[in-house]
Amino acid sequence: LAGTENGDIIQQLEYRISRLEKVLRFSNMITESGGKVFATNGKKADFDATVEKCREAGGSIASPRSSGENDAILHFVKYFNTYAYLGIKQSLIPGKFQFLNGAPLRYTNWYSNEPSGKGEE
In this predicted model, what pLDDT tens digit does every residue of 79-118 receive, in sequence order? 999 889 999 998 888 888 999 999 999 999 888 888 876 5
User: pLDDT grade, residue 65 (50/70/90)?
Assistant: very high
Q: How far is Cα 103 from Cα 42, in angstroms, rounded to an integer?
A: 28
Residue 121 pLDDT exceeds 80: no
pLDDT: which is higher, 60 or 7: 60
Mean pLDDT of the chain: 88
Say what the pLDDT of residue 14 is: 92
Q: Could you tell me if residue 114 is left (phi over 0), alpha (psi between -120 and 50 degrees) or otherwise beta?
A: beta
Beta bridge partners of 5: none
Say what the pLDDT of residue 78 is: 94
Please report the domains of the chain, with CATH numbers, ordered by start residue.
Answer: 1-99 (3.10.100.10)
Range list of β-strands (E), the chain: 30-33, 36-39, 88-90, 97-99
In this predicted model, what pLDDT tens digit does every residue of 69-79 receive, in sequence order? 999 999 999 99
Say what the pLDDT of residue 12 is: 92
What's the pTM value of the predicted model, to 2 decimals? 0.77
Q: Average pLDDT of 31-38?
A: 92
CA distances from 59 to 6, 39, 78 (A): 27, 10, 22
Residue 61 pLDDT exceeds 90: yes
